[in-house]
Amino acid sequence: MTRTHAFALILSLTTGIAAQADPKPVASAKSPGMDWPQFRGPNRDGVWREKGLMTAFPDKLKIRWSKPIAGGYSGPTVAAGRVYVTDRIDEDAEIERVHCFAWDTGEKLWSHSYPCQYRVSYKAGPRCSVLVADGRAYSLGAMGHLFCFDAKSGKVLWSKDLNKEYLIRMPIWGISASPILEGGLLIVPVSGRKAYLVAFEPKTGKEKWKAFSDRGNYSAPIVIEQAKKRVLVTWSGDRVLGVDPATGELHWSIPFKARNMPLGVASPVLHEDKLFLTGFYDGCILIRLAQDKLEAKKLWRRRGRNERMTDGLHSTISTPLIRDGHVYGVDSYGEFRCLKLEDGERVWEDRTAVPRSRWATIHFVQNGETTWMFNERGELILGDLSPKGFREIDRVKLIKPTRGQLNQRGGVCWTHPAYAYKHVFVRSDAEIVCADLSAATK
């Protein structure tokens, strides 16, 4: 595998969206608990709000079900008792697929396939997680195929070939930044030559606005509150933008241009009036958001000499978390670090959570005071994070790594899990697994 190939897969996992947006954290009559309808959870903030969970693991987790799927980086999503995931097969022809399973049994409820010839440097599969809201499911493939399905039946309500319509300046590793729903619009980082962002009417797919001509990146957009306004935050290959989600008007921008090539995969993280962003080559930046007007300014930036000799945090796939005035994240070779939010100074570094390797990955989800961590070895870890250090509470093997995402170190699991109904849902390039995490099954 070439260096270029290896990077490709990296992007897959961050293709979701972070922050608060239209889908709300609700438990419907058809759901036995809180849904996980999009990447990084119901509020797009990497927080799991269910209670009654394990505080330690049994020797082996209870696997509720496992079903075979093909390759892909898209993390599962869960809504109204259904689980959604995408994959790719290339046996007789190149095909992307969207699947829907029953959450409790794993029964396949529907599947949609469509031809998709990959013209990107790595072909492991779709990157973007399916977004589910208002009875509709939205999928976005690696080459820009956008679909809106009836979430229950799988009927295609509308679809678009974004590459054909907007002349995508295709990122090296394909389309990886998932769409976001906000204010009655589906906003997509298209990366078109004259349309970096495009907003569509969710029911019909009609274009409502398009804006900018920035280079594409892999980081999924978020929506925040600033000066009593909703603001879309997106990181292109050139800058961080604050955008009016209703019109596409630019409120502010902060330069954060890629040094070698765009490789920003982690989502922006909002903490109070600050935004934190990190990328593999380009280190990290902290931005302060004015609260009385729609303005922003850079507070500090840290960048090492290169991706090996790093400063601050050079994350690849993992979106960091911020707690108690500190940033917790994984650096370019799997170094688990704690930084002071105020200036980016390193407080500690740990190398036990994941073996040291280039692009080594951990996905963080916070539940109360406990951090749930899923690492690329397929291990689920319970941890306590503080400026004093990382205290591992327990860990257990959840799924076997596969080589489709990275044909090194015995394979990896780079896909972000979904947490819903007191269960965890995670996939590899061979299977999708549902495991029980409720306290009663310990």
Beta strand 207-211 with 370-375 is unpaired
DSSP single-letter state for residue 332: T
State the pLDDT at residue 116.
96
Beta strand 108-115 with 95-102 is antiparallel
Could you report the per-residue pLDDT of 339-385, keeping only the tens digit for each?
Answer: 999 999 999 999 999 999 999 999 999 999 999 999 999 999 999 99
More confident residue, 4 or 397: 397
Domain total for the chain? 1
Contact 61, 380 (CB under 8 A): yes
State the pLDDT at residue 219.
94
Could you report the per-residue pLDDT of 146-179, keeping only the tens digit for each?
Answer: 999 999 999 999 999 999 999 999 999 899 999 9
pLDDT band at 53, cuts 50/70/90? very high
Question: The dihedral of CA 252, 256, 257, 261: what is its sign?
Answer: negative
On the question of pLDDT at 24 being above 60, the answer is no
pLDDT > 70: percent of the chain:
93
Note the pTM of the prediction, 2 decimals.
Answer: 0.93
Domain holding 399: CATH number?
Answer: 2.130.10.10
Q: How far apart are CA 328 and CA 332, in angstroms?
A: 13
Mean pLDDT comparison of 10-19, 88-97, 119-128, 416-425, highest-scoring range:
416-425
Range of the structural domain that residue 237 is part of = 3-441
Query: Which residue(s) pair with 250 in the sheet?
Result: 243
pLDDT band at 105, cuts 50/70/90? very high
Q: How far apart are CA 112 and CA 91, in angstroms?
A: 17
The helix/strand/coil state of 24 is coil
Q: Pinpoint the alpha helices (H) of 59-203.
A: 162-166
Q: In what order do the strands lie in the sheet with 321-323?
A: 321-323, 326-330, 336-340, 346-350
On the question of pLDDT at 21 being above 80, the answer is no
